[in-house]
Structures are given as C-alpha cells and as structure tokens.
Structure 1
Amino acid sequence: MSPRASTGASTHTPARGDRARGERFPEVAEGTAPVPTGRGLRALRQAAIACKRCDLWRPATQTVFGEGPARARVFVIGEQPGDREDLAGEPFVGPAGHIFDRAIEELGLDRRTMYVTNAVKHFKFELRGKRRIHKQPNPAEQKACQLWLERELAVVKPEIVVCLGAIAAKAVFGSKFRLMKQHGEWQDLADGRRAFATMHPSWVLRQRSDAEREAAYRTFRADLALLTELETRH
C-alpha cells in the first residue's frame, strides 16, 4: 500500500507482531536478520518473520511476506503493507489491492498465477487518535528490507517483474528511475529479466475527483496491459 493515508484505516491497536500469537521464532540481535534454514519460500518466510534489520518490526502487527506460486512467471512488487495487510498478514488485500485485482481481472489475467510481495515487509504508520496512517519508509528502512526482496526473486526466478510505485521501482531500477516519466515502458534488467513499472494503485485512490480517479485508473490499467503481451506470445 502507499505510504499515504488510505480509506478504511483501522482503529485496531496493534499487537507486537506474530509474537503476540504465542508462536516461537528464532531470536536475533537488533539490526540483524536470521539466515533461512532452507532454500524454499517457506524457510524464507519463517526467517523474515524474525527480522530486526530496522525498527519497523516493533509497532507492526506482523511481517507481511509475499504470496503466490514458487515458480511464478510474473513477480509483482508493491511498496509496503497497509493497515489491512498488516492485520491480515497478506499483501494487497486492502483498498489498493482491490484496484489491482480489478485491473488485472478486466485484462483477463489471473492473480493466482503471480507472486505478489512488497519492497518493505512491515507497515509503517503514525497514530492519529486511534487511526493508523501510512508513513513512507525512509531510505535506511527500504535498504534494510532489500535483502528479502532479493531472496524472493532468487527463489521464485520469474521472467517478468512488475513494480507498483516509486519505492518498488527504485528497489529494482535504482534511484535514478523516474516513475512518472518512465512508467509503462519495458526495461531490460542485468539478469536478463524484463520489467516495467506503473504507479501504485493507491495513486488512483488519492485523486480528488471521480473524473481524475477514472483517468488515473485507465493509465494504471493501460500500463498493466503490457502483461497481456505475454499471453499473445505463449
């Protein structure tokens, strides 16, 4: 989800992550991350749950790891979990996720075939009364989480990478990438993969009027339509 406020923010007072559920995870020192005990996504997920490379694990309810097929052809990267994702422990299940789902469904694509994750695995927020409002992860927090994104890519080995939002795009293309100028364009990555970026779906929700939201949605869907080229080639 976007670091800005979204509709439907919860009044939930967060527990201390998965730790509040009575589950036991390996203890690691502050500023470090556990080493996965295996090579697959399950081992990677379990290790990420105990990560303390930055301080975002403290207020978050839980780590929100990626989900999808272990050998997905398309790998989708968002920015960070939102309020709904933090509570559910699943990526893209809030208002922005619904926009993403609507767009790919209209394009005849199936989210269940994609691996969907975020560049940052914990929800960063500030309290306004009882509401939890998104805050953008700072560069150090984004860098701390890069390790998990790289490991996910190494395990899944996708052909195509889709970046939703500037944080995701810069994690893949570097700090010089300019989302508003370069969105919707195929990029060739050094490892041979193809990739493109588009705006985060919460960008659609942030538009002020119905007309602006509809125009933003058409732009977002048009960028995602690049994925339909894969269907015509295979």
Structure 2
Amino acid sequence: MTTNDNNSAVRFLPECEDLGSLRTAAASCEGCGLYRDATQTVFGEGPDSARYLFVGEQPGDQEDRQGHPFVGPAGRVLDRGLEEAGIGRDEVYVTNAVKHFSFTSRGKRRIHQKPTAAEIDACRPWLSAELAAVRPEVVVVLGATAARSLLGPSFRVTRQRGEPVPMGDALAVATIHPSSVLRAPDRDAAYAGFLSDLRVAAGAAPHTR
C-alpha cells in the first residue's frame, strides 16, 4: 500500500521512535483533515513492554475531550472484559487506528462518524510505530476499522473473530469493538461473545515474560 506523504502522518514521525517521542510528535500531526475539528490528538497509552496491544477505531467524544483512549462507555466495557478474561491492565497498551475524533455535529451533540479509508491509511504510520516500540505478543483488533488498518480490507471480523492469526512477530485476535456491545439488541449475548474472544487472546500470549 502506498500513501502520499502529504496525506499521511509519515512526515510527522520523530527520528527517535520511542513512545514518549511518538506521543509528543503526534500532538502536532496534520496528516489528514481530522485534526481541524478534533480537540486534540489522542495517542495510545500503556507500558512500553506490554504483552497485549489493543487497537480500536478512533477516539470518541469523551476521549477527545480528555485526551486519553478508552475512557468513555466503551472503555468501561473493555475494562470489565479485561478483568473477567484475566488480562492485567498493567499488561495492556491501548490505542486506536485513527488518533483524531471524526464526527458530525447535530446541535450541541457530536455524533461519531466512521473514519474514511484515506484517514485510516494516513494514520497508519503512528500505529506501525507503536507496534514497533511496544513489540507486543498479542494484538487484539477491536472492530472493522482496526482490522482494515492492521489485517487488510479483505479481513472480516464477523467471519474470523476469535481466531489467532500471525501478524509479524505477534499473534492477532480480532473481535468486535466494545462500543458495539452497547449498541447490540441483546447486550448480554454480545458481551459474552466479546469476552470469549478476549479469553482466546489471553490464552494466546506465551507466559514467558
């Protein structure tokens, strides 16, 4: 996949690609047009030696306002799932495929808008750099946008969720985004499937660190 550097985060990457340098540089990213309306860049957070790296779609309204990933309602679903799956929060780095909030305004409300393929591709250098810096054992792919960024446009979460697949030196396990649990007609069933996938991810990491 090729991306014009003028429509990509590539030109904003720092020379030293440790997490601190990446986070600082990402705050000034203008690799796509989303920065114009978003409050701020929401970069990933977690230990630089995390065994698990979770990738969602993009920041939501609360994440955009607070500047931290997964602090809204979907984040609470994720936290519950991690605890019940036996994945320690101190072993997890969380981030998103897209670092700025994409939305449309309806009065005073800001309504989530799915990022475009071009926006996902433009932001991919940040995600690649995070993966290289953290070097996780398991990458948990939350939803279709993250799957497109990491596993390609032909990957279908609905068909391939909960199945560990090789991704470089790591294993990837895809599941639904926790926000879809909140939107599901049967939340209990949706959450049970989500938790089942997280337990697969928990079992996929070698217990060697």
TM surpasses 0.5: yes
d(CA) in 1 for partners of 2:202, 2:182? 24
Aligned to 2:193: 219
SS of the equivalent of 2:17 reads coil
* Matching of residues 50-65 of structure 1 within 5 Å: 50-65=28-43
Question: Based on CA coordinates, which of the two structures has the bigger radius of gyration?
Answer: 1
Aligned to 2:169: 192
Q: Residue 137 of structure 2 contacts residue 205 of structure 2 at CA under 8 Å; is this kept in 1?
A: no
The code of the aligned residue for 1:93 comes to V
Tell me how far 1:232 sits from its aligned partner: 7.8
d(CA) in 2 for partners of 1:185, 1:219? 13
- Whether 2:128 is the aligned partner of 1:154: answer no
Seen in structure 2, the aligned counterparts of structure 1 residues 130 and 225 have a Cα distance that, compared at 3 Å, is same
d(CA) in 2 for partners of 1:34, 1:168? 21
d(CA) in 1 for partners of 2:169, 2:8? 32
d(CA) in 2 for partners of 1:146, 1:80? 12
Seen in structure 2, the aligned counterparts of structure 1 residues 31 and 151 have a Cα distance that, compared at 3 Å, is closer
The code of the aligned residue for 1:218 comes to A
- Whether 2:175 is the aligned partner of 1:167: answer no
If the length of structure 1 is used for normalisation, what is the TM-score? 0.82
The code of the aligned residue for 2:95 comes to T
Tell me how far 1:192 sits from its aligned partner: 2.7
- Whether 2:175 is the aligned partner of 1:201: answer no
SS of the equivalent of 2:172 reads strand
If the length of structure 2 is used for normalisation, what is the TM-score? 0.91
Seen in structure 2, the aligned counterparts of structure 1 residues 39 and 61 have a Cα distance that, compared at 3 Å, is same
Equivalent position to 2:19, from 38, 41, 61: 41
Tell me how far 1:108 sits from its aligned partner: 2.3
Q: What is the CA deviation profile of residues 102-161 of structure 1, one whole-angstrom value per residue up to 9, with x for unaligned ones?
A: 111112221222111000000000111100000001111111000100011111111111
**Which segments of structure 1 move beyond 6 Å, counting only runs of 4 or more?**
none
d(CA) in 1 for partners of 2:52, 2:205? 12
- Whether 2:80 is the aligned partner of 1:119: answer no
Equivalent position to 1:106, from 76, 84, 89: 84
- Whether 2:115 is the aligned partner of 1:137: answer yes
SS of the equivalent of 1:103 reads helix
CA RMSD of aligned residues (A): 1.7
Structure 2 residues without counterparts, runs of 5 or longer: 1-5
Structure 1 residues without counterparts, runs of 5 or longer: 1-28
d(CA) in 2 for partners of 1:58, 1:48? 14
Identity level (%): 51
